[in-house]
Structure 1
Amino acid sequence: MGPPSPELVRVADKAAMARTGADLLLARIAENAGRIAICLTGGSSPKQLYELLATQAYRDRIPWPRVHWFIGDERFVPAGDALHNMTMARHAFLDACAPAANIHPIPTDTGSPERSANAYARELITFYGADQLDPARPLFDVVLLGIGPDGHVASLFPGYPAVEVRDRWVVGVDQAHVAPFVPRVSLTLPALASCRTMLFEVAGADKQPILTRVLAGEDLPANRARSTHETTFLIDAAAWPETAADRSPPGLPHALIVMGVSSSGKSTVGQALGRRLGWRFEDGDSFHPPANVAKMSAGQPLTDADRWPWLQAIADEIARCRAQGEPIIIACSALKKAYRKILVGDCGNVRLVYLEGDRELIGDRMGHRKGHFMPTGLLDSQFATLEPPGVDEHPVTVSVDAPVETIVDDILQQLHIGQDRPDCERNGS
């Protein structure tokens, strides 16, 4: 089985890309309580992300003594040169924030790219503690990458021998395929793939043609660079490919899953959202088998064994609707990430809408509900089970402490869908 398919995430612009990338990076850092390794990239796209990491809002959330910073490729120029990738990252945030011992540049004072490659490979092997990569123990937590105009990643150019190297971690590249035409040093595809998350940043209208080729499956380095665990493409609106299969308005998914604990308003919000968009709405509870309903009515929490067939039934309905081009909104608690993985899978056009509220507010709402089979005593178990969706799940998160139409407005705004409902509906008449 090959690596999982990449997730495509559309963002409005470069600023939104930087925020989303920084949030995902922090989420990955938070998941690792031990030593953390991040592999940076050069180029113009990540600079805004790097500068964001140096701001107080992000800097204070990074455990700098535990995080080590590497680089995926380097131009064979002296440190401090305007073309030097790690110099850009150092100026943007590393020198101001990271311990010097945790910054691992590729040496470019060795006399040749090949010597630099050998030196960096030794450093990586020492850091990793083995000379063979174990798929169960990735070298990096996150690898950041961009896509060159010819489809190259790092300094692995299409048609060049370095792309095919499988038995080394780092290689020297004597000749570049694109400007600047200077020698390079690059991690190989196996070394880049040894990560928990591979994050591509693709921005600007000039990247749309090559991204279209990559997503069409053309044999390019950017299509061969995949994490063995998770690969995500952050793509701004200017770079997003316009294909015949993409007939939806910008930002509009094919399915929305409105999630949250019981009494958060999933059905009410889902129905209102359906009316606004003209989409079919289904309550996920209708997919429960009778045995599940009986257990909940008796005040017995469901087990995961009870939930799997229910979740799969919803996922099958979403798949059917997507295959037929029928948009759908489904209200489903989806409390755990594992449940949401079944519902969303690897589909970038199925989005979560998370209705967020605290225990006191939602408990008060539940106490006033009539004719629902979820007793109030089970609310504590729901909150205990709840795993709020992280930034890597790209949820639309809205507070339930607002009128329904305000919540819907917020959802549509986050989905970048125009606000065009009638004035009489806006005024509540």
Structure 2
Amino acid sequence: MGTPSPELVRVADKAAMARAAADLLLARIAANSGRIAICLTGGSSPKQLYELLATDAYRDRIPWPRVHWFIGDERFVPPGDPLHNMTMARSAFLDACAPPANIHPIPTDTTDPEDAARAYERELKTFYGAEQLDAARPLFELVLLGIGPDGHVASLFPGFPAADVRDRWVVGVDQAHVAPFVPRVSLTLPVLASCRTVLFEVGGADKRPILTRVLAGEDLPANRARSDHQTILLIDAAASPETSADQSTSGLPQALIIMGVAGSGKSTIGKALGERLGWRFEDGDSFHPPANVAKMSAGHPLTDEDRWPWLRAIAAEIARCRANGEHIIIACSALKKAYRDILLDHHHDVRIVYLEGSRELIGDRMVHRKGHFMPTGLLDSQFATLEPPGACEHPLTVSVDAPVEAIVDGILQQLHVSQDRA
């Protein structure tokens, strides 16, 4: 499917940005039960995040013995110098919380930046346990980045050779091209991309001009630093450009997934809701490969192995719509939470609409239904598989024991859409 488009998450201010970043970092740590590597960044933007991680509310939720802390770039100055990135992180939270052996600074006591780069590359490869990166096994769980005023990330400056290096993990940068004008050491773009999540923090009115250029798609290191899995831009109100490409301020989600067992009326409700909102509707069944359709038509239930390609195809269409600012409604059974996790992919602007109904009610509907390839005999299998969405998924739940228009009215009410507007 290629590299997913970045997710834009807007927050009110830098304090809200720090909380959102901390919550995401904790979620990424919780998703991995093994040894974890986090790549930090320097600059002023992450300082509030680092200080927040040292508070009891966050500190007590981090399994410090199995989390290792690296850094994406360093200014070639001695540790303890006010310009030293890892010194800031250590002062804010690492020295008070993390085991010393789990803190991995770039050495700046070497003869020059290139020597430091070679030493840090050896350390990263030793930690990773291989000489070459494997896309299926990311080096980092999360990489934290900022965006420089010229669009640089880490110490990879636009138009300069280090930003194009792909055969090394770490490079020395003899000359910085923005203040402070000191030599640097930086991870390369392929290494920064070797992660589950790239998280940008972009805050303050001074970032609005460069963020406008980044969102316009200009060829900058900030637009080339992308995870193959997930890239998020956390943007506060001061930095957020006011462009036509921005998400609507209406508070509506970008995509709605209408879920429920076969016979609950997903397509009927989805079409009616699309007409009321003026959004495009797609039936998730159209994303099934032919082999799945044939299997269901023959009365055989699908396995999870059958469903993964189908769910990924739907997720890809949602990602495409989000990237283009399009609204979409998709009917998809999404009976298990694991299926919905693929579709939602941590996007707050993708919501689940759960059509809830009893076995007796939906069974009666199936008996009278024609022209659909899901035989009535598979309904018991559907209910056995169903995992109703929990509160953590923030579903919009409506009963199907009502006329179509009343069900759509209930959904719009939960979306806070006035009936006049719809």
**What range describes the TM-score normalised by the shorter chain of this pair?**
0.7 to 0.9
In the TM superposition, residue 155 of structure 1 has moved relative to its aligned partner by 0.9
Q: Over the residues paired in the alignment, what is the CA RMSD in angstroms?
A: 4.8
The question of 1:366 aligning with 2:365 is answered no
Task: Select 1:382's aligned residue among 380, 386, 389.
Answer: 386
Q: Quote how far apart the aligned CAs of 1:127 are.
A: 1.8
Amino acid across the alignment from 2:3:
P
Find the aligned partners of 2:201 and 2:320 in 1 and give their Cα distance. Answer: 31
Letter paired with 2:385: S
Task: Specify the alignment match of 1:416 in structure 2.
Answer: none
The separation in 2 between residues aligned to 1:324 and 1:125, in whole angstroms, is 38
Equivalent position of 2:7 in the other structure: 8
Distance 2:361 2:126 in 1: 60
The TM-score, its normalising length taken from structure 1, stands at 0.72
**Alpha carbons 1:398, 1:410 under 8 Å: kept:** no
Q: Are the structure 2 counterparts of residues 352 and 190 from structure 1 closer, same or farther at C-alpha, using a change threshold of 3 Å?
A: closer
Q: CA deviation at 1:324?
A: 11
Residue 142 of structure 2 corresponds to residue 113 of structure 1: no
Counterpart in the other structure of 1:91: 91
**Is the 1:256–1:352 Cα contact (8 Å) retained in structure 2?**
yes
Q: Which residue of 2 aligns with 1:236?
A: 236
Q: Is the 8 A contact 1:269 1:408 kept in 2?
A: no
Q: 1:183 to 1:234 in 2, by over 3 A?
A: same
Distance in 2 of aligned mates of 1:168 and 1:311: 36
Between the aligned partners of 2:306 and 2:116, the Cα distance in structure 1 is 56
The structural deviation recorded for 1:39 is 0.6
- 2:351 counterpart residue number: 353
Cα gap change, 1:309/1:398 in structure 2, threshold over 3 Å: closer, same or farther? closer
1:232-381 equivalences in 2 (<5 Å): 232-246=232-246, 248-249=248-249, 251-259=251-259, 302-304=302-304, 327-336=327-336, 339=339, 351-354=349-352, 366=358, 369=361, 371-373=364-366, 378-381=382-385
CA distance in 2, matches of 1:134, 1:200: 23
Contact 1:8 1:235 in 2 (8 A): no
Instruction: Assess, with a 3 A threshold, how the Cα gap between structure 1 residues 309 and 129 changes in structure 2: closer, same or farther.
Output: closer
- Segment of structure 1 superposing worse, 321-330 or 242-251: 321-330
Partner of 1:19: 19
Asked whether the 8 Å contact 2:256–2:353 carries over to 1, the reply is no
CA contact (8 A) 1:163 1:189 kept: yes
Moved more, 306-315 or 206-215: 306-315
Q: Deviations over 1:40-94 (max 9, x none)?
A: 0112222232233233333333221111000111122332333221122223222
Question: Is the Cα contact below 8 Å between 1:262 and 1:366 reproduced in 2?
Answer: no
Count of residues in Structure 1 that have an aligned counterpart in Structure 2: 400
Counterpart Cα distance in 2 of 1:7 and 1:318: 13
Is contact 1:265–1:400 with CA below 8 Å preserved after alignment? no
1:287 CA drift (Å): 9.5
Please say if residues 264 and 356 of structure 1, whose CA atoms lie closer than 8 Å, have aligned partners that are also in contact: no
Alignment TM-score, normalising by the size of structure 2:
0.73
**3-state secondary structure, aligned to 2:185:** strand
- Structure 2: distance between partners of 1:319 and 1:122: 37
| Aligned-residue offset at 1:152 | 0.4
Alpha-carbon distance in 2 for matches of 1:230, 1:110: 35
2-structure distance, mates of 1:115, 1:313:
46
Give 3-state SS (helix, strand or coil) of 1:114's partner: helix
Q: 1:176 Cα deviation (Å)?
A: 1.5
- Letter aligned with residue 32 of structure 2: N
